[in-house]
Amino acid sequence: MLAKLFSGDFPRSRVLAALLLVILFSLACAPFLTTGARMLNVAATICIFIVLAASYDLLLGYTGIVSFAHTMFYGIGAYGVGLALNSIAANWWAVFAGVIAALLLSLALALVIGLFSLRVKAIFFAMITLAVASAFAVLASQLSDFTGGEDGRSFTVPEILHPDFRLFDAEVFGRVIDGKLITYYLVFCSALVLFLLMLRIVNSPFGRVLQAIRENDFRAEALGYRTAIYRTIGNCLAALIATLAGALMTLWLRYVGPATFLSFEVMTDVLLIVVIGGMGTLYGAVIGATLLILAQNYLHALMGQTSAALSGIPWLSMLFHPDRWLLWLGVLFVLSVYFFPSGIVGRLRRSARPA
Amino acid sequence: MANQNSTVPTTVATEPPVLSTHGMSIRFGGHVAVNNVSCEFRPGTLTAIVGPNGAGKTTYFNLISGQLTATSGSVRLYGEDITALGAAQRTRRGIGRAFQLTNLFPNLTVLENVRIAVQGKAGLGVNLLSMWSSHIELIEKAEHYLHRVGLLERRTEIAAVLPHGDKRKLEIAILLALEPDILMFDEPTAGMGVEEVPIILDLIRQIKAQGDKTILLVEHKMDVVRSLADRIIVLHNGYLVADGDPDEVMASPIVQEAYLGTGVAEHV
């Protein structure tokens, strides 16, 4: 049963399993563990970035494809749902129509990009995706009548997801069951299902072909696998899942805009998550996303406290000034890549093997 | 039995060829690596392709198995022109190939290397939602082929860490797992320890004894060629310079001069 759920791909390290359980438990109970809106926002962002980074890992870690268009698909999902809710009506039909339209657009784009460029050299594919993604981002900002331009669009979500909505009058475990909490569980459950689906895909016969292509595409071709087709299918799957992640994020934020969904920073975040967590493991996306999102949200505050504690010492308090938080984030990344070249998951699994 | 056609020995002369090349050439810039080679291969035979280094043997293999596309000429499989098909499609139609330079999936296990080939043959590559480990028949088949090359006990090891001889065996297990009609071995025993060579040769002999497979073998070791081949073709500077019964070809002056004159001392 458990093997089926995890597709036979267990963490294979006690420390990793414990970490994953802590993350799963914290995310599952987040609304009841915290009261602040900020922490719930962090939890929802972690859920969505796990899906987004894991879908990117399908490409980078499992198939060995470097794509820069992943945030474009994420953005397509966000804009699809956001604009549908904004221009049709605040109901589930609009959400449904937006998701379907976004999935179709993503599929078409991924298919075209894949068929045109996955047959040739990897660098060419990377360049094409960069160009298409930049063009899409420019388009989204320029079509301001439709997309709201740089400002993006805020919109009303279906009633049940609205923060003012109350499911019960009474509180449950000391918390009002409101629309925000329902949205959180929609995000959490969707993320969990999508993650388990990806775990199944990478452990399916198809997933094994992707890994074979990553290892030696020449030989995979010689075994009768048409690698361009497999790469294209992988590219389309990753794009579709990123689209769903975007749709979830926009429902959570009740906002869609280019800076949040299409900027290159989102792409670098995803890259960092996959590399730090461990490429080609999927679980790496969970660890990486949790670390990065937590660091982005709390490193600033943590440094504020450290700086205040060191206020007597001139040099150190300067060094730990909250304004330097990006510097320290950078240092943390350099160190983690240096000490864990195969990512945190790779490192944990290696140290678990002799035991 | 009288041999009516010197290029095709033994009794299978009347059977239509499984595989044939017609006037096949490939040019790399000014260099013609394979030049107008026409040849037919019949089921149940083992043809050795010999020639000095750089004669175009591996290039000829690449043209047949689809890694390279001919500049001119054609390849036919069961009479059908397959020149336009890529390597993957040719493999699916029954042309299996083992490579000279070991060509594995380095970070996958020994079993997984073979299982991927079995899975390709079974046509399960686009199965997205089942677990690979639930296809027990594929795993058993992969283990069967590992057993045949004597690698079963190493099945959980990562391919990259195997000693050279075992990599060669794995290469051959992968070829067998494709269950092809045509098996192409490119120097299968190169770099192998003396005690390991007989395992591979016995294996090739067994496949040949089944009688329905067409085997092409590029090999430098003349004793190996003599003991296995029904027929030898000699390539020299891209040209097919001799074709026929092993003893006959070995004795011909052109072979003595082109290949064996230097080759005997080095390779026997």
Cα–Cα dist B254/B219, whole Å: 19
Cα–Cα dist A325/A329, whole Å: 6
Average the pLDDT over each of A223-237, A319-333, B15-29, B48-62 and give the range with the smallest value.
Answer: A319-333
Instruction: Quote the strand ranges of chain B, DSSP E.
Output: 19-28, 31-41, 46-50, 72-77, 80-81, 95-98, 182-186, 214-218, 231-236, 239-244
Cα–Cα dist B119/A208, whole Å: 10
Assign A119 to helix, strand or coil.
coil
Interchain pair B125, A8: CB under 8 A: no
Cα–Cα dist B176/B215, whole Å: 12
Min Cα–Cα distance to chain A from B102, Å: 10
Interchain pair A208, B120: CB under 8 A: no
pLDDT in tens, B205-250: 999 998 889 999 998 888 888 889 999 999 988 999 889 999 888 8
Nearest-Å Rg of the Cα atoms of chain B is 19
Is the pLDDT reported for residue B6 higher than 90? Answer: no
For B97: left if phi > 0, alpha if psi spans -120 to 50, otherwise beta; the answer is: beta
Question: The domain that contains A264 carries what CATH number?
Answer: 1.10.3470
Cα–Cα dist B126/A269, whole Å: 31
Taking contacts as CB-CB distances below 8 angstroms, the residues of chain A near B180 are none
CB B225 within 8 A of CB B260: no
Strands, sheet with B239-244, edge to edge from the N-terminal-most edge strand: B95-98, B182-186, B214-218, B46-50, B231-236, B239-244
Is the pLDDT reported for residue B11 higher than 60? Answer: no
Question: What tokens does B8 get?
Answer: 């095709």
Report the sign of the C-alpha dihedral through residues B32, B38, B41, B46, in that order.
negative
Check residue B259 and give its pLDDT: 61
Domains and CATH numbers, chain B: 1-94+186-196+214-268 (3.40.50.300), 104-179 (no CATH)
CB B35 within 8 A of CB B69: no
DSSP conformational letter for B245: -
CB B91 within 8 A of CB B180: yes
Taking contacts as CB-CB distances below 8 angstroms, the residues of chain A near B121 are 224
The interface predicted TM-score (ipTM) is 0.85
If pLDDT is split at 50, 70 and 90, which confidence band does B264 have? Answer: very low
Cα–Cα dist A232/A248, whole Å: 25
CA torsion B19→B22→B23→B24, rounded to 10°? Answer: -40
Q: Which of A4, A203, A216 sits opposite B103 (nearest CB)?
A: A216
Residues 6+ apart with CB under 8 A from A94: A84, A85, A88, A158
What is the pLDDT of chain B when averaged over all its residues? 87
> Is the Cβ of B174 closer than 8 Å to some Cβ of chain A?
yes
Cα–Cα dist B5/A210, whole Å: 48
What's the mean pLDDT in B7-36? Answer: 80
Check residue A110 and give its pLDDT: 95
Task: Tell me the residue type at A301.
Answer: A
Q: What is the per-residue burial (b if ≥16 Cβ within 10 Å, else e) of A282-318?
A: bbbbbbbbbbbbebeeebbeebeebbeebeeeeeeee
What's the mean pLDDT in B10-19? Answer: 70
CB A46 within 8 A of CB A27: yes
Average the pLDDT over each of A58-62, A172-176, B174-178, B184-188 and give the range with the smallest value.
Answer: A172-176
CB A49 within 8 A of CB A293: yes
Check residue B133 and give its pLDDT: 87
Check residue A100 and give its pLDDT: 97
When divided into structural domains, chain A yields a total of 1
> Is the Cβ of B5 closer than 8 Å to some Cβ of chain A?
no
| A:173-232 residues touching chain B, CB 8 A cutoff | 200-201, 203-209, 211-212, 215-216, 218-227, 230
Question: What tokens does A341 get?
Answer: 């070249």
Per-block mean pLDDT, blocks of 10 residues, chain A (355 long): 85 92 95 87 97 97 93 97 93 95 97 82 87 94 91 91 86 85 96 97 95 93 93 96 97 95 93 93 95 90 85 81 83 86 89 65
Question: What tokens does B205 get?
Answer: 């002999």
Per 3-state DSSP, what percentage of chain A is helix, strand, and coil (rounded to 5)? 75, 5, 20
Check residue A37 and give its pLDDT: 86
C-alpha distances (whole Å) from A342 to each of A27, A138, A302, A337, B64 are 26, 35, 28, 8, 40
Query: Which of the residues B64, B110, B124, B132 would you substitute to probe the A interface, choosing the one with the greatest number of A C-beta atoms within 10 Å?
Result: B132
CB B114 within 8 A of CB B120: no
Interchain pair A212, B86: CB under 8 A: no
Count of beta carbons in the 10 Å neighbourhood of residue A159 = 12
- Burial grade of B40 (CB within 10 A; 0-12, 13-18, 19 or more): middle
Question: What tokens does A221 get?
Answer: 């071709």
Cα–Cα dist A48/A247, whole Å: 10
For chain B, report the end-to-end CA distance as a whole number of angstroms.
Answer: 30
Check residue A281 and give its pLDDT: 92
If pLDDT is split at 50, 70 and 90, which confidence band does B263 have? Answer: very low
DSSP conformational letter for B101: S
Q: What angle do CA B241, B91, B83 make, to 5 degrees?
A: 55
Task: Tell me the residue type at A265.
Answer: E
Query: What is this structure's pTM?
Result: 0.89
For B244: left if phi > 0, alpha if psi spans -120 to 50, otherwise beta; the answer is: left
Longest dimension (CA), chain B: 61
Check residue B267 and give its pLDDT: 41
Domain of residue A339 covers 2-352
Instruction: Quote the strand ranges of B173-258, DSSP E.
Output: 182-186, 214-218, 231-236, 239-244
Residues 6+ apart with CB under 8 A from B266: none
Task: Tell me the residue type at A128.
Answer: I
> Is the Cβ of B132 closer than 8 Å to some Cβ of chain A?
yes
Cα–Cα dist A254/A78, whole Å: 10
